[in-house]
Amino acid sequence: MSPVSTTNAFMEFQVMVAQECHTAYSEAICQEIYVSSLERKTGIANRSPEYINEKIRAGKAVIALTEDGEFAGFSYIESWGGKSFVANSGLIVAHKFRGMGLAKKIKEQTFILSRKLFPDAKIFSITTGAAVMKMNYEFGFRPVPFSELTDDPEFWKGCEGCRHFGILKDREYRMCLCTGLLYDPKEHLTIHHPGEEA
């Protein structure tokens, strides 16, 4: 997938599938995730630089950089349940670049990468963020109970880094503060891209 450039009145960004050279940004990515989880007081699971590097090296991450090579945003994908489910996770935009429409561009490229690598998989996301929910709706996701998401225990282990994990565990992984959102390719004849006419 070729890098996609996005421009606003002040800055230009390149949004691309992350490569080995981008592992240099893993510390910055983890720090941004951590700070955002504290500020929002919402459920953002913390990740280690090693975990981020693993996603980058597997070709399952999207990164955004400024034209000067400064880290601007990130997201990654993971497959579960024998690759029948794919999670779009860890969407983050660096503080100084928020409010510029960058999150939507990162989400779009992560969605396209998910469909390319796992064309038959159901794509899901769990979030407490209204902006992420809105973007997911635009891509054709629908809200679902957790029972429609993967039952792979390894996925739910990833929630252990979230401040709300106790709630999820107490409810036997059936519900939490997050909303479950699902894109089922069998429900769509074509890949939906926001902004395109039907």
Mean pLDDT of successive 10-residue segments in the chain (198 residues)? 60 94 96 79 72 96 96 93 87 92 94 94 88 89 92 82 85 89 83 56
**Cβ neighbours around 59 below 10 Å, total:** 14
Give the pLDDT score at 4.
66
Inter-residue contact 15 to 3 (CB < 8 Å):
yes
Identify the pLDDT of residue 160.
80
Order of strands across the sheet with 71-80?
A: 4-7, 12-17, 61-66, 71-80, 85-93, 122-127, 179-183, 142-144
The angle that helices 130-138 and 102-117 make with each other, rounded to 10 degrees, is 50
Domain count, the chain: 1
Residue 198 has a pLDDT of: 46
Domain that holds residue 63: 4-187
Would residue 196 count as lying in a domain? no
User: 64 — phi, psi (to 5°)?
Assistant: -120, 135
Tell whether 29 is covered by a domain.
Answer: yes
Does this model's pTM top 0.85? no
User: Could you tell me if residue 198 is inside a domain?
Assistant: no
Residue with tokens 């597997």: 58
Report the first-to-last Cα separation within the chain, whole angstroms. Answer: 24
Beta-strand (E) ranges in the chain?
4-7, 12-17, 61-66, 71-80, 85-93, 122-127, 142-144, 179-183
| Residue 59 lies inside a defined structural domain of this protein | yes
Question: 192 lies in a domain?
Answer: no
Provide the CATH number for the domain around residue 172: 3.40.630.30
Within a domain: 195: no
Cα 173-171-187 angle, rounded to 5 deg:
45
Assigned domain for 57 exists:
yes
Answer whether residue 114 is part of any domain.
Answer: yes
